Chain A
Amino acid sequence: MSKLQTNVMAHRSLQNERPFSTKRFFLQWEWMLVLLFIIINVINTFLSPNYLVFDSIMSAIQMFCDKAILVFPMMLVILVGDIDISVASIMALSAVIMGVGYNAGLPMGAAILLALCVGGACGFVNGILLVKFKELSPMIVTLVGQIVFRGIASIILEDGAAGSFPSWFQYLGWGYVGRIPFILIVVLIEAVIFLYAIHFTRFGRNVYAMGNNETTARYSGIKTDRIRLFIYVLMGIFAGIAAIFLASKMGSVRPSVAKGYEMDVIAMVVLGGVSNNGGKGRVIGVVIATFIVGLLRYGLGIVNVPSQTIMIIVGVLLIVAVIIPNLKSTLGGYRWFQKLMR
């Protein structure tokens, strides 16, 4: 081994084992999220004296858990550098088909299974289009999906509603295990599974590799098409799961359910530090961000902030969340910024 090679090797190993630095540890995005989380809770506590009661927090969390179900598969989609804005429409279609199926005499279990299959099928359509036609952007394909899937739902149900589900079905959305909502337990289990899959399996590493540089990933033997298809099908299936919980919460389904959900879900993921250029982000950040957005909405709702103002706030949050990680590269050229960071 030549001297140069040894030097390079030494340099590399040094880079891999950077010494632990407290400053760098606390400069992580996740700490910023924790801070934001605490601020929002403090504000909520001041706004409503009853906020810091265990049961009321639990019921607040129950309100947004159907969105939280979508967050983790969406994280995968954004990690590979894509986006899926058809999820809300997939939810509507699965929920409508489940409702219509049940009203047509299917047993509830079969109707639920049908909803999952419909979700998976919609995801498959998105995925196969993207894999077979690489020149199409995920944005445009899922935009078409957004129109078509909800369009099919409105063909099936027109302006009617389907529902009158069996009484046990309500338990999914409203039930409690002890004093903890059942749906929260589902979300937490899902979070643990995704945490493991994303951070500790080969599949997870492949997803990050794809997000960083898809061509490199493909040339190093990662089956990028298969992974992309899998991720979109997964996204669809989880949209089906979210649809089941939403239907259980609402009691009946219409083609217009879940309109605008994609915005909140994408906001949660992006706020969680998942880079929209792919290949960056951690599950823990996404979990905190989910609670931030959910509790923020709840807190603003307590003080009767109109829903239009909440729209503005979530929109600003989405943009600010994306800007902050980019600030360094944007302002890096200015001298005052360099001084500030030094």
Chain B
Amino acid sequence: MNGGVKRIISQNVRESCLLAVIFVLAVAVNIRSGGNFLTARNLSDMFVETSILAILTMGMMSVIITGGIDLSVGSTMALAGMVGTSVLRDSMNEAGQGISPILIIALAVGIGMLAGLLNGILISWFHVLPIIATLGTMNIYRGVTYLVSGGSWVLQQNMTTSFMAVATGKLLGINNLIWIALVVFAVNFYFLGYARTGRKIYAVGNSLESAAVSGINTKRTITLTYVIAGAMAGLAGILYVCKYAASQGETATGYELNVIASCVLGGVSVSGGSGKVHGAILGAILFGMLNNALPLLKISPFWQEAIRGLIILASIVVNAIVSRRSTRKVLERRAIA
């Protein structure tokens, strides 16, 4: 039993450290904020908030594993949310009944997948660098969102109660959003860790040439990662507008930075090829915790952005130093043998 725990820890040094940091930070924040952090209400708020970020992180991590980046997720969220809620608004009758929320969510995911497909085609078939392609589509999708909305908002009165219930409803006392995030996590955990296609994503990220030589269709694999990221962005987008009961052109502006930060905190290497699903989810939780804790600690909102940036910076630098040292250790061991 004891040996088993030891083995799990030694295989997941990074993730164990992250978990420890989260616990220490939680206790510290709780003490500093006078016991306001570790209350059932605040924790549930925090996890509901974080579940959207976690869903996006799950999508983004496969893109980053291939060595790419997707800056367009924030805009895709806005677009999917806007199209979904617009369709919902137009379908509503006087009694306040409309299309079933399941269909709306499916529609949003579909739009996200289309947006991701365009990114993927540009990147893998037309050899556009991921950052430039998604910087372009970030603006395009955001612009299309404005065109779809015509500059107006979709508000609470334009949404059906059954749709709103998606974000507020509970199952076994736990908010639906958390359940959705857990399902996405479980699927992704299996997909990236054990499914053949998921392992191909790691192979492509480790070395594009070797992957191509060993018979992996690299273009299709890379495109797939962007489709996944887009689908998750679509899902997160519709849940986001559902949670805040408002959809507008500015929805989720700059959200991509939070997502990339969560991935980086969770140890998904930006140079590609490595990163664990449970690490990424811990990264998202840590980031969500920071977002929740900074206002509780009464830190001025004007300081929060810089603090968040510095934390990301610190984590990537520490990550670089740690991985450098472990590589050196491995090399030394080899030299002795």
Chain A residues in contact with chain B, CB under 8 A? Answer: 83, 85, 129, 133, 135-137, 139-141, 143-144, 146-148, 150-152, 154-155, 158-159, 263, 266-267, 270, 276-277, 306, 308-312, 314-316, 318-319, 322-323, 326-327, 329-330
Contact = CB atoms under 8 A, between A and B. Distances in A.
A312 B308 CA distance: 30
B129 A143 contact: no
A155 B126 CA distance: 42
Contact of A319 (B122, B260, B313): B122
Closest 10 CB pairs of A and B: A151-B306, A147-B309, A312-B143, A308-B146, A315-B139, A148-B309, A151-B305, A311-B143, A315-B140, A319-B136
B238 interface: no
Contacts of B195: none
A326 B131 contact: no
29 contacts: A83-B131, A133-B320, A135-B271, A135-B323, A136-B317, A136-B320, A139-B131, A140-B264, A144-B313, A147-B305, A151-B307, A154-B302, A276-B132, A306-B151, A310-B143, A311-B139, A311-B140, A311-B142, A312-B143, A312-B144, A314-B139, A315-B136, A315-B143, A319-B140, A323-B122, A323-B126, A326-B127, A326-B128, A330-B126
Contacts of A135: 271, 320, 323-324
Secondary structure of the B side of the interface? helix
B125 interface: yes
A315 B257 CA distance: 19
A144 B312 CA distance: 7
B132 A322 contact: yes
Interface in B296-318: 300, 302-310, 312-313, 316-317
Interface of B: 69, 122, 125-129, 131-133, 135-140, 142-144, 146-147, 151, 249, 257, 260, 264, 270-271, 300, 302-310, 312-313, 316-317, 320, 323-324
B306 to A, nearest CB: 3
Nearest to A156: B302
A263 B307 CA distance: 25
Indicate the member of A135, A146, A267, A306 with the most B CB atoms within 10 Å: A135
Contacts of B320: 133, 135-136
Contacts of B133: 319, 322
A18 B305 CA distance: 55
Contacts of B304: 151
B127 A330 contact: yes
A329 B264 CA distance: 33
A151 B127 CA distance: 34
A158 B128 contact: no
A31 B85 CA distance: 46
Contacts of A147: 257, 305-306, 308-309, 312
A263 B131 CA distance: 11
A144 B316 contact: yes
Nearest to A324: B126
A93 B143 CA distance: 27
Given A135-B324, A140-B316, A159-B302, A322 B146 contact: no
A189 to B, nearest CB: 29
A263 B135 contact: yes
A211 to B, nearest CB: 13
Contacts of B131: 83, 85, 139
B260 A148 contact: no
A136 B146 contact: no
A277 B271 CA distance: 16
Contact of B305 (A136, A154, A266): A154
B306 A318 contact: no
Given A140-B316, A322-B128, 5 more contacts: A139-B270, A144-B313, A155-B306, A315-B143, A329-B127
Given A140-B264, A263-B135, A276-B129, A309 B147 contact: yes
A315 B138 contact: yes
Nearest to B263: A140
B263 to A, nearest CB: 10
A143 B260 contact: yes
A139 B269 CA distance: 13
A133 B317 contact: yes
Contacts of A315: 135-140, 143
Given A140-B316, A311-B142, A330-B125, A152 B306 contact: yes
A151 B308 contact: yes
Contacts of B142: 308, 311
B249 A158 contact: no
A308 B249 contact: yes
A143 B257 contact: yes
A257 B159 CA distance: 36
B59 to A, nearest CB: 18
A148 B128 contact: no
A312 B316 contact: no
A136 B313 CA distance: 11
Nearest to A306: B146
Contact of B303 (A83, A129, A155): A155
Given A309-B147, A326-B126, A329-B127, A270 B132 contact: yes
